[in-house]
Amino acid sequence: MTTTTALLEVDQLTKVIQHKVLLDQITFAVGPGEICALIGHNGAGKSLLLRCILHHETIDGGRVTVNRIPHTDRTYLREATGFVSSDHLEFLDPLTPREYFDFLIAIYQVPDDYASGLVLLMTKQLQIEPFMDTLVQNLSFGTKKKVQLLAVLLYRPKLLVCDEIFEGLDAESVEVVKEIFRNYAAQGNSILYTTHLHEIAEEISGSRYRIATGRLGEVVR
Amino acid sequence: MMNLQTYGQIYVRFDRHERATLMTGLYTAVFFAGLLFAGLAFFKEHTQAVLSVFHLILLFLYGIVALINDGKDSPLYRLVAFFRNTPVRAERIVFLTYLRKAWNMEQLLLYAGLTGVLLYHEAGMLDIALFLLQIQAIVMITQVMEYLVLLLKQKLVFQFLVQLLVVLLLVIAFQTDFFRDAKQLIGMVEAGFLPIALLALAAGSLAAAVPLMNRLLAGTMPNVPRWIVFFSRLLSLSAHLLFFHPVLRSTVRILILRYLRDLEVLIKHLTLAVMMLVFSTISFLINETQGYELLLTLTWLLSLYFFAEVRLKRLLDRGSHLSFFPLPPRVEKIAVDLAGGLLFLFVCTLVLIFQSFSFHVPKLYILHSLCALVIFYLLSVAIEIPSELTSKRRLLLQVAYGALCLTVVLLFRLVNDWFVILACFALALGFYARTVQRRCN
């Protein structure tokens, strides 16, 4: 079910852990400017699928490309994608948001004017301005996610990948994040995210895939 | 209620040491029984002193094991973290831990061996019982010592102060000739002072064990103190002064921040500084010289410690998480090595400067030692460490690194010349460049 213009193409992806097939020949694609939701119960394999796509886990079969470049090209993959996940906080936990943002601005060579403008705007919008000099490990669950989201948006990856981003956010922040998703996709970028919340998925996503017991079964378009 | 068998299963899961084989148990028993046998055979006139010294050796060895507790990596920390989420009471944990420590296969073999030796020397049953009772006291004392150490590790300032106190006490002890008055010490041992002291300490430990365990169960591992956050920012500025490549500069800076705020890494460097202070203070006080050899030996020992505790454990590589970013492998490796090197050299330089002022060590010796440290560090990062390391391979790498550095020490000592220093530096740098190149291919 892949399209030639897709930004992300996942073809027959298979992941086996201890002789158990956890992801079984998963095939789907996400086009430019598309918001795609992966829906599924706990343990269905949503987070594992994201980690496999972003090459944080090796895969046992199939192929993944971003912009037609295999995901094994780590340097390109890290430039073209951004990951927001509560399982990926080891790096920023001992840092303050300001220190982390400065680091990203330097290594992704984000223009200073653009970066400072965006940080100013988004820290207000996401209500993380008072925590800019607090260590991330001391922030609340929701605030950590917002810091991660802003960090990723700083370098504008073509593909934004979020694992359960709406979990732990207050109602106001959920609305802000939905708005950010819409605007980001409108600029031609793609978003792939996992969620349990069907209403949100239905409201903002162009495509929705249900994942159950490692298989991408029902496709709701 | 949790029984000994259930606890045993949990204990073995967290304490790798507990998986000792029958063979290691036998070796231990034979070693200590042999030691006691030899002591009693050689010093027939001083039986009481031999028994007391034997207990002191045991206390020292068990104490070392308790003191080198590895913080978050220690079995005790993992056990406490596990029990924190269970309804098991502190009294029960303390009691079952004691049973597992004092009555495991290794200990039983040891008791059997020691009893055999004492029976051979025609000791009375009451004496043997008292002898074994003192070993129980030692186990209890060191068990509580371990609780105390872990509790102190949760307060970084305390830990630093305790280590500093050890250094000061050593200096005072040497300055006041405490250890030279050995006769008094032997007299105390022969007067049977030790058994009473041990039993009293064990009683005190028993009383303190439950409250300490309760404190451990209630607490969490510490947050990074504010002064560390501030200090890490200050030290990370050095990256701005030293490196011009913007990506490398930012990566080194962020790694310094991360390493200094990682308590495990920080504690290793703190221990490094204290070890250096203790060794050099004792050496200078005993030798009363500003010996060049002494400083070189010191730098060699420190580098060995760094290699074994930081490099071989991949502490800095594991904690970098740079694979999350679009950095080429070359930059990744160089950044980790530069950040680690800055930290290592910073700690060593501070101590060397302190020693230079305290013992009037010539500045040139200090400079030579720093050069040696840079060369040793380059060699340590030039050696590729596999992600999975068997104990045999670990030992081999340690021996190889030790020998490599020792060659440099000998060269420094035999041909005390800047040309040799520069040549060693160039060779080490070349070796390192080759490793980086190989990793990138």
Residue A158 sits at the chain B interface (C-beta within 8 Å): no
Provide the pLDDT for residue A148.
93
* Cross-chain Cβ contact B224/A102 below 8 Å: no
Residues of A in Cβ contact (< 8 Å) with B323: 74
In angstroms, what CA-CA distances link B31 with A99, B28, B34, B157? 54, 5, 5, 39
Provide the pLDDT for residue A4.
54
What ipTM was predicted for this assembly? Answer: 0.87
Number of residues that make up chain B: 441
Provide the pLDDT for residue B364.
84
Residues of A in Cβ contact (< 8 Å) with B327: 75, 78, 107
Mean pLDDT value of segment B56-78: 73
Provide the pLDDT for residue A70.
94
Q: How confident is the model at residue A179 (pLDDT cuts 50, 70, 90)?
A: very high
Question: What's the per-residue H, E or C state across A45-67?
Answer: CHHHHHHHHCCCCCCCEEEEEEC
The continuous run of DSSP H or E covering A216 comes out as strand A215-220
Provide the pLDDT for residue B178.
56
Choose between B295 and A64: higher pLDDT: A64
Mean pLDDT value of segment A10-15: 92
The continuous run of DSSP H or E covering A83 comes out as strand A81-84
Provide the pLDDT for residue B362.
82
Q: Residue A89 CB: number of other CB atoms within 10 A?
A: 17
pLDDT digits (tens, 9 = 90+) for B155-208: 666 666 666 666 666 666 655 655 555 555 556 555 566 778 788 888 888 888
Q: How confident is the model at residue B385 (pLDDT cuts 50, 70, 90)?
A: confident
Of A150-154, B74-78, B229-233, B329-333, the least confident = B74-78
Q: How confident is the model at residue B8 (pLDDT cuts 50, 70, 90)?
A: low
Q: Looking up tokens 């010592």, which residue turns up?
A: B145
Mean pLDDT value of segment A186-206: 90
Of A171-175, B68-72, B197-201, B290-294, the least confident = B68-72
Q: How far is B230 from chain A (nearest CA, A)?
A: 11
Of A200, A137, A130, A205, the residue nearest A171 (C-alpha): A200
Choose between A116 and B224: higher pLDDT: A116
Q: Where are the alpha helices (DSSP H) in B243-287?
A: 246-260, 263-287
Q: How far apart are CA B210 and CA B221, in angstroms?
A: 19
Provide the pLDDT for residue A1.
47
Q: How confident is the model at residue B154 (pLDDT cuts 50, 70, 90)?
A: low
Q: How confident is the model at residue A82 (pLDDT cuts 50, 70, 90)?
A: very high
Chain-centroid distance, C-alpha A167: 13
Residue A72 sits at the chain B interface (C-beta within 8 Å): no
* Cross-chain Cβ contact B257/A74 below 8 Å: no
Provide the pLDDT for residue A186.
94
Provide the pLDDT for residue A151.
94
What's the mean pLDDT when you consider all of chain A?
A: 89
pLDDT digits (tens, 9 = 90+) for B101-129: 888 888 888 899 999 999 988 888 888 89
Find the closest chain B residue to A133 by CA distance: B229
Mean pLDDT value of segment B22-30: 78
Q: How far apart are CA B43 and CA B34, in angstroms?
A: 14
Q: How far apart are CA B321 and CA B331, in angstroms?
A: 13
In this structure, is the dihedral angle defined by the CA atoms of residues B416, B417, B423 and B429, taken in order, positive or negative?
A: positive
Q: Residue B354 CB: number of other CB atoms within 10 A?
A: 15
pTM exceeds 0.90 for this model: no
pLDDT of B274 strictly over 80: no
Q: How far apart are CA A166 and CA B282, in angstroms?
A: 60
Provide the pLDDT for residue B227.
80
* Cross-chain Cβ contact B324/A138 below 8 Å: no
Mean pLDDT value of segment B268-287: 73
pLDDT digits (tens, 9 = 90+) for B331-342: 889 999 999 999
Residue A138 sits at the chain B interface (C-beta within 8 Å): yes
Q: Which of B22-31, B105-114, B145-154, B168-177 has the highest mean pLDDT?
A: B105-114
Choose between B15 and A163: higher pLDDT: A163
Counting beta carbons within 10 angstroms of the beta carbon of residue A145, is it exposed (0 to 12), middle (13 to 18) or buried (19 or more)? buried
* Cross-chain Cβ contact A95/B254 below 8 Å: yes
Choose between B349 and B359: higher pLDDT: B349
* Cross-chain Cβ contact B250/A103 below 8 Å: yes
pLDDT digits (tens, 9 = 90+) for B350-367: 887 877 777 777 888 888
